[in-house]
């Protein structure tokens, strides 16, 4: 049986994960001073996962009268 394209490992690396493991959540909480050593690892506070979005480059307008999008 073959694996679907969306489930392959290389495709998974491209996407951002919206769910963190407990260890990852503790690391983020420690870095923001919201969790200290000795606190219970059960019932951790929510940690927001930020998605990075790159701005798309604008297309260069062609020279001439057609540059403003007018049709003849």
Domain span at residue 44?
A: 20-49
Q: Give the DSSP letter of residue 32.
A: T
| pLDDT > 80? residue 72 | no
pLDDT tens by residue, 11-55: 555 667 788 999 999 999 999 999 999 999 898 999 988 877 777
- Is residue 40 included in any domain, yes or no? yes
Q: Where are the alpha helices (DSSP H) in 1-72?
A: 9-14, 22-31
pLDDT at 67: 54
Counted domains in the chain: 1
- Is residue 36 included in any domain, yes or no? yes
Any residues with CB less than 8 A from the CB of 28 and at least 6 apart, and which? 20, 47
pLDDT band at residue 5, thresholds of 50, 70 and 90? confident
pLDDT at 53: 76
- Is residue 64 included in any domain, yes or no? no
Alpha-carbon distance 18 to 21, whole Å? 10
């Amino acid at each position: 049986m073959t694996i679907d394209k969306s489930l392959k490992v290389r495709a998974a690396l491209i996407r951002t994960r919206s769910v963190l493991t407990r260890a990852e959540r503790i690391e983020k909480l420690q870095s923001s001073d919201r969790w200290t050593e000795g606190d219970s690892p059960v019932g951790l506070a929510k940690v927001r996962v930020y998605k990075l979005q790159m701005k798309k480059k604008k297309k260069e307008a062609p020279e001439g009268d057609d540059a403003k999008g007018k049709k003849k």
